[in-house]
Each structure stands twice: as structure tokens, then as C-alpha cells.
Structure 1
Amino acid sequence: MRHGVYVREVPTSVLPPATASASLPVVFGTAPVNLSKRDKAPVNEPILCYSYSEAVEALGYSDDWKSYTLCEFMYSHFQLFQQGPIVFINVLDPTEHKIDVAESEIPLAKGVAKINQSGVLVTSLVVKLAVAGQPLEKGKDYAAAFDEDGNVIINRISGGAIPDSQTSLTVSFTKLEPSKVIAKDIIGGVDVTTGQLTGLELVQQVFPRFRLLPGLLLAPGWSQDPVVGAVMKAKSTNINGHFRCMALLDIPTDTIKKYTDAPAWKEQNNYTAETQAVCYPKLKLGDHIFHQSTQLAGVICQVDQKNEGVPYESPSNKSYQANSAVLDDGTEVLLGLDQANYLNGQGIVSPLNFTGGWKCWGNRTAAYPAVTDPVKSFIPVRRMFDWIGNSLILTFWQKVDDPANKRLVQTVIDSVNIWLNGLQAAGYILGGRVEFVKSENPVTDLMNGTLRFHVFVTPASPAEEIQFLLEYDPSYLGGLFA
């Protein structure tokens, strides 16, 4: 028997949205992991970093960007654009990509010696007084540490086996060899024995590890390889079997030296997907040369941050951190507005110095001009559709396996419509709605537990062309007689 007053909770009829991260860069490449402060060098492991110091501590840093490609992105994104976080995935493995350096003599002055080579694996260092001598003991006879440039400094320890009068030491060691990293390492795969993921396959681990969705896929220094580009395209359209993002790629500037040759290279190598943004040429700031995709990611993240993370605004006509456009060898490329518009018309993002300094110039995905559907051809519209779709998945995952009844249908309709109305009120979309259409939900599908909701949404296209019509009006001549 029940006697009294009781309370029973019912599920909330409207769900707040779980919005997806739109611009989290996931960057693949090589890093000087011999400088890592971690106990174990991070190899084929997603590393989430919110600051430059955090990234340097985890992965090391070197100004040799051609050898260590992740350092370019680290410097650009954190230092120049002041953006974060970033997920880094280093594929340079000290156990594989290495070479042994034979014994050689280095000078010792005032108890200090220096190995003028980068990439030294300190654990492999062998120090002797002479070629035929016995190895000295680290921590007792000498101390070894890296300087700011990544070179190893050997310091004599007083009371050890190195005499005050010693003027040289014999050293041998193993060092990283970044040139042994090939495109296959970036592409990666799945170990059939252990099931371990490597390379681009690791994009599948980002969300399970960090609860953050990849927004941009990059591999500066590698994305100009057509096979790498193809795999990046495949990964961007199917992350964890549900999510989508954009891949930022570069056209090579060592072989493609004329801007007029870039569109043909793009077509021949199948850089034509709606989820790809393709860049040409490179950028230069001071002594540093950047892949344009690196700085495009910085611009995209800056624009998204300004808009509360909603990717509705184009990165085009926003400032790069550069003072020239260059080829791989540093040769300057001067693109006027006509030349930059030609590249834009072929679905290529270019830099332009027209008014207000160097800017990103181009709204179109790589699918343009073959595809003119605004969802597939405009970068901000494509990103908005990805962001809305990803957000819907995250929001309503909690409703999977609930009873497929009227309450569930109404909850989805009300929740989505309220969210879309909010986006419209904020100016992020022109309008949107969701409907549960009878013709799209046959009885057999409903019996089988499949429900389809039709979402109509219209993000604003970028104002790519603004025209003013000028006309001479003779009626104003009457003002001469007023």
C-alpha cells in the first residue's frame, strides 16, 4: 500500500547540445624526440599540448624544420598565432630511424667538450680518454646534457677519471636519422600481430583519448605526397566511423615552380575532395619558411576562436604571419590579384599581398571547380555541415537504444530546433529546422529500430564578389542653378 505524496522524475524533454570541436589540429610528422623530457620518447602516440613549452617538453624542438616537421607547426601555431591546443603525432622512431656514428675525437677545454651534431641519443653515448681506452662512467667521470641548440655538452667531473690536463675526448654514439622516415611511416597502418596503430591510423585514437574531435588534419612536409594526400582524404571523411573534418594539404614547390602548373598537378594527383583545402606556394617570415597549410590552420583557428568555436566564417582575407611567398628553395613568388584569383578559381588557396599585408586568399575546397554545390565547394559551408553533423552525433548518442516512441521523436525535434534557432539568432546560420518526415521513415525501418530526422540548414556563403554599379546621373547638373 502507498499512502502520502510521492515524486517521480521524467527525462528532460529538451537536450542541451554537445558541440563538437571544429578546429582542433591533428598534426603528423617528425620531432627531435631525443630532446624529450619524457621517460620514453613519444612515438606513434597522440600527444595533446596546450602551450609551446608543453610541446617542447614532450617532443623537443629544433630549427631544422626540414628534418623535424612538427617543430614548424609548433612554432607557427603557438608562437605566431597564439592558438591551442594541438594533437601531435610523431612517427620518428629512435629504435628504427637512426645511424651509428663511429668514434671520433672532440676537443676538451676547461673541462668542457661539445658534440656539434643534432639528434644524439644520450643513452648511447660512449666517452673515452683515447680510442683504445676504457669507457668513462657517466655521473662519476663526466656529465652530459643538451644545450639550447640540441648539441650535447660533456662536462668533466672533478675527482673523476678525466685529468685536468686532458685536451680531448673520444666519443661514439647513435643519433636520429630523420631522412630514414618515409611517406609509408606517415601513412602508417595496423600491426596484424599486436593491433597497434601507427601513422595516420592514429587519428582514430584522438577522440577516445582526449574527448576532443579532430577538426583539421595536417602533415606539413608530407602532404604534398599524393599517397599521403589520398589517405588524409580518406581519414577526414570517416573518423571513428562517424565524424568528419577537413584536411589541409600543400602542392610541392620544389617541382611545381610556376603557379600556372599548380592546377594541373592538383588534378593529376587527385587533390579534388570536398574535405581538402589545397595550398600553393609556401610562406616566409624572416629566415623561416612555412608550408602554407601550417599557417592556414593558424588562421582558421583564430577565426573560429573569435566566433566562439563556430566555423561559419571563411579564413580568406585574414592575415598570414608572413612577409613573402616563396618556393621550396626560397625563390620569391609574386602573385598579383589576377594570378591569385586564377588559383582560387581552380580550388587552390594562395597568399595575397594586396591591401593590409599578406593574407590568406581563397574560399574554395579542392572539389572546386568540378563541383559547385556550395556545401562541397565553400570551405566555411563544408566545415559548418561537418560541425553540425558531428554535434548532432555527440548530442543524441545518449538517446541510442531508448524506446523509439513519440517522446523520443519530440525530444529530438524540439532540441534540434531550439539549437538551430539559437545559431540563427547569433548569425551563424541563415536558418534551420528539423523534421520527422513520414515518407522517409517506412514502417519496415521503424519496426527495425531505424529513425530518420531530416535537418534543413543554410550556412551563409562567403561574400566572394561584391559589385558596385556606377552610373553617371545628369539630373544632378541642376544643382549648378540652385
Structure 2
Amino acid sequence: MPVVFGTAPIEDQDPADRKVNEPVLCYSYSEFVTAFGDSDDWESYTLCEFARSQFGLYGVAPVVFVNVYDPEVHTSGDPAVPDPAQVTSADIIGGVDETTGKLTGLELISEVFTRFRIVPGLICAPGWSEDPAVAIGMAAKATGINGLFKAMAIVDVPDSTVPNYTDVPGWKNDNNLTDPNMIVCWPKVKLGDEVFHMSTQVAGLIGDVDEQAGDVPYRSPSNNRLYANSAVAAGKEVWLGLEQANYLNGQGLITALNFVGGWKAWGNRTGCYPSITDPKDAFIPIRRFFSWHANTFILTYFQKVDWPITRRLIQTIIDSENIRLNGFRAMEIILGGRIVFSEDENPTTDLMDGIIRFHTYLTPPSPARQIVNTLEYDPAYLQNLFS
């Protein structure tokens, strides 16, 4: 489930009804419009872009939206009229009000599970994640939601600043977009007259692919269809060849490619690649599966917290998890997996202090990012002329 931060056209609503720095769960476009209004001015109202893509194109739900635009605060002119252009990256990053203790911006990610009992899977901020400070903040929040859960941040390289694909890897590295919990996108994509940040459509595509896979995130979004008929950077069409797209992939970027089967997302690597090559960190589907599996373990066994530490408790968890892992293996979601309770990892002092540690070994399949076929001329078959 994506949690999306941005701005929405709430000026015309009754001030008492305005949703400002408040997570709102939406299952449909109509619910979004009821909560936030609607606008074609996506540059000013970034949440409308995401709602259009998620509900109108990809048809996946739910989504949690967080609007940081406050018409009473973000104003300009004399006399003051509301102005969403006054919203800054600092509003998206947010913080904690010293007086009231109220959370704002990205800090509100911690309220999503307590409000809706749904664990965030993706963190998005189209239009705002082009600011490295916002992108890094998103990735930081993705690593420890509520001190327990993990998600992934989908961010964009600003195409207006970096319109040439050869400059994108350098900008990514210079601005430290190198986190394993980060998916880095370039450029934008266009459908008719509508221009979407790549991160917006990748979020929808991930939801679509997950749904096809039984809501288990083990497949890559790469080589799956985008709702686009062109790619654009700095307002101009971009036509990448396979070699150019693979160059970006090799630098830890996901892009758009019009090759076999129309416009598709192209790239399997997280932002940490190529400096980190560990499959559980460098491949998007493997990183997501590890995080999802860890989140599911927490949700499943949180009810066991504070039970007496007995052999029955330990064996219950081991048996349940091994059954689940064996099921994943049978469905080829993983190639194999097991969970153990090792004496070496559970010293007496920890057991006395009420801490028990399990260790899960698992191997999700890597995406087949290259399929190689070698052709060889075999003169032995010339003998068939004489058969």
C-alpha cells in the first residue's frame, strides 16, 4: 500500500473539513475527490496526479494520502489569497510541533498503521522527491516504520535539471540516492496530454504486478506495461534504446523503454546498485520480499509477545513458519527457506531478559534480467545430406 505525500486543492472546502497533515485512506477516486477535491493542475496539486494514476489507470487500492498544503498558512499577495506554491520541501519532510506534539509531513508515516491497521509498503511524493533532501528523508522513514516495519521509497531524478540520460547516474550518486530501500526513476512518462512522474506510474505498476502475483511481492515491475505513449525530459520526448536503458539499469535506475510490447518500465535494481551487489539489497523484488516477509512475521507473532518463554512457544513459531515457507517453495515464490532457533544466537543473558531470536534463511528467485542463447554452427549435421 502506498503512502503519498503532497498537495491537494482544498481551498474551497469548509476550513473545519480540510484534511491537512492528516492521513486519509482512500479506496477509490471518488473517495479521494470527496476528501481533497480534484484539479488538472498537477504541478500545484501533486496528490491529484497520483490519484489519477493509481485509481484511473492501474485500478489498485487502497492508498493513504497526506496533504501538507494549508490554505490558511501557505498564502501570498496582499491581501493574502491561498497559494499552494508556498508549500516547500520542508513541509513535506515535516516534523513535530513543539507545542502540540502534532506530527507533520513524513513523520505521519508512523500513524498509518495505528489508524488503519495497514502496513505501508511504498512511500511516494511525486514532484517533491526530486529534492534529494525529501528523497533521503523518505528512504530513512522506510527503514523503520513504528520501529518495526519496512517499506520502499520511490523517488525521481529531476528531468528538468538532468534532461540527458548520460548525466543521470552522476546526479544520483552526487545527491546520495543510493539506499537499498529506494527505487530511483527517470524520466517522466506521458499519456496523451497528461504527464506523470515516473515514480507515480511505477507505484501503480508495482501494485498491479503484486495483485497478479497473489499479493506477494516477489515479481519485478520491470518489463511490465506502463500507461504511457512517450517518455519526456524537460518537456521533450526521450527515446532510449535498449543499450541506453540498460546503462541506466546498471547504475541503479529504473526507466521507461519502448521496445518489445510497447512502453514498459525497465530496471530491477534498487538505488544502492552498483556499489552494493548483495541480491537482498540490490534487486527490487528480493528487497521487497524480504521486507514484506519481515513485516508479515511481526504481524503474525506480535500476539505472542509477553507469553512465557517455553519450548512450546518456540516450537509453535518454528512449525508455523516452516509450513509457510514450504508453501512458498511449492508455489515457487521462493526457491527454498527455513527458520531455526539457534542456541548460539540466544545467550543465557538474553533468555533471562525475555529476548528470543529466530533466524530465517530464504532465497527468493532473482529476476531473469538477461536470457542468453549461444548459436553455434555444427558441421557434423552435414552428414544429413547423405542419410
Normalised by the length of structure 1, the TM-score is 0.79
- Alignment-mate amino acid for residue 34 of structure 1: E
1:176 CA displacement: 2.6
Q: Counterpart of 1:256?
A: 162
Matched, 1:375 2:280: yes
Q: Which runs of 5+ in 1 are unaligned?
A: 1-23, 103-173
1:335 CA displacement: 0.6
- Alignment-mate amino acid for residue 249 of structure 2: N
**Inter-partner Cα distance in structure 1 for 2:67 and 2:344:** 49
| Pair 1:448–1:346, CA change in 2 (3 A) | same
**Inter-partner Cα distance in structure 1 for 2:60 and 2:137:** 26
Q: Is the 8 A contact 2:186 2:253 kept in 1?
A: yes
Q: Counterpart of 1:364?
A: 269
Q: Counterpart of 2:381?
A: 476
Please list the CA deviations of residues 260-300 of structure 1 after superposition, one character each: whole Å capped at 9, or x if unmatched: 11001101111000000000111111111110000000110
2:147 maps to which of 241, 249, 265: 241
After TM superposition, list the pairs within 5 Å mapping 1:328-339 onto structure 2: 328=234, 330-339=235-244
Q: Percent identity?
A: 58
Q: Counterpart of 1:181?
A: 87
Matched, 1:447 2:352: yes
- Alignment-mate amino acid for residue 351 of structure 2: L
Q: Is the 8 A contact 2:181 2:271 kept in 1?
A: yes
Matched, 1:287 2:188: no
After TM superposition, list the pairs within 5 Å mapping 1:214-233 onto structure 2: 214-233=120-139
The structure showing larger relative contact order (alpha-carbon pairs under 8 Å, at least 6 residues apart) is: 1
1:438 CA displacement: 1.0
1:88 maps to which of 51, 54, 65: 65
Matched, 1:425 2:330: yes
**Inter-partner Cα distance in structure 2 for 1:100 and 1:470:** 70
1:478 CA displacement: 2.1
- Alignment-mate amino acid for residue 454 of structure 1: H
Q: Counterpart of 2:245?
A: 340
1:194 maps to which of 100, 109, 118: 100
Q: Counterpart of 2:292?
A: 387
1:371 CA displacement: 0.2
**Inter-partner Cα distance in structure 2 for 1:286 and 1:378:** 32
2:19 maps to which of 39, 42, 52: 42
1:192 CA displacement: 1.3
Please list the CA deviations of residues 280-333 of structure 1 after superposition, one character each: whole Å capped at 9, or x if unmatched: 1111111111100000001100000011110000000000011111013x2111
- Alignment-mate amino acid for residue 90 of structure 1: N
1:98 CA displacement: 2.5
Secondary structure at the aligned position of 1:34 is classed as coil
Q: Which has the higher helix share?
A: 2
**Inter-partner Cα distance in structure 1 for 2:133 and 2:261:** 37
Matched, 1:27 2:4: yes
Please list the CA deviations of residues 345-366 of structure 1 after superposition, one character each: whole Å capped at 9, or x if unmatched: 0000010001110000000000
**Inter-partner Cα distance in structure 2 for 1:57 and 1:458:** 44
Q: Counterpart of 1:130?
A: none
Point out 4+ residue stretches in structure 1 off by more than 3 angstroms. Answer: 35-39, 99-102
1:427 CA displacement: 1.5
Matched, 1:456 2:358: no
1:61 maps to which of 16, 38, 41: 38
Secondary structure at the aligned position of 1:348 is classed as coil
Q: Is the 8 A contact 1:344 1:364 kept in 2?
A: yes
**Inter-partner Cα distance in structure 2 for 1:313 and 1:223:** 24
- Alignment-mate amino acid for residue 317 of structure 2: V
Q: Is the 8 A contact 1:217 1:232 kept in 2?
A: yes
In our comparison, the structure showing a higher alpha carbon Rg is: 1
Q: Is the 8 A contact 1:36 1:58 kept in 2?
A: no
Q: Is the 8 A contact 1:304 1:313 kept in 2?
A: yes
Secondary structure at the aligned position of 1:341 is classed as helix
Secondary structure at the aligned position of 2:20 is classed as coil
Matched, 1:435 2:340: yes
**Inter-partner Cα distance in structure 1 for 2:360 and 2:372:** 33
Please list the CA deviations of residues 50-98 of structure 1 after superposition, one character each: whole Å capped at 9, or x if unmatched: 0011101111110000000000001011101111111000000011113
Q: Counterpart of 1:156?
A: none
1:469 CA displacement: 1.3
**Inter-partner Cα distance in structure 1 for 2:15 and 2:92:** 22
Q: Counterpart of 1:51?
A: 28
**Inter-partner Cα distance in structure 1 for 2:252 and 2:342:** 36
Q: Is the 8 A contact 1:349 1:363 kept in 2?
A: yes
Normalised by the length of structure 2, the TM-score is 0.98
Secondary structure at the aligned position of 1:33 is classed as coil
**Inter-partner Cα distance in structure 2 for 1:182 and 1:52:** 26
Matched, 1:208 2:114: yes
Q: Counterpart of 2:50?
A: 73
Q: Which runs of 5+ in 2 are unaligned?
A: none
**Inter-partner Cα distance in structure 1 for 2:22 and 2:350:** 41
Greater Cα offset, 38-47 or 335-344: 38-47
Q: Is the 8 A contact 1:190 1:196 kept in 2?
A: yes
Secondary structure at the aligned position of 2:313 is classed as helix
Secondary structure at the aligned position of 2:135 is classed as helix
Q: Is the 8 A contact 2:254 2:265 kept in 1?
A: yes
**Inter-partner Cα distance in structure 1 for 2:138 and 2:49:** 19
- Alignment-mate amino acid for residue 188 of structure 1: G
Please list the CA deviations of residues 180-232 of structure 1 after superposition, one character each: whole Å capped at 9, or x if unmatched: 00000000000111110000000000000000000000000000101111111
**Inter-partner Cα distance in structure 1 for 2:347 and 2:194:** 60
- Alignment-mate amino acid for residue 8 of structure 2: A
Q: Counterpart of 1:142?
A: none
Q: Is the 8 A contact 1:97 1:178 kept in 2?
A: yes
Q: Counterpart of 1:311?
A: 217
1:34 CA displacement: 2.5
**Inter-partner Cα distance in structure 2 for 1:421 and 1:195:** 46
1:480 CA displacement: 2.1
1:448 CA displacement: 1.3
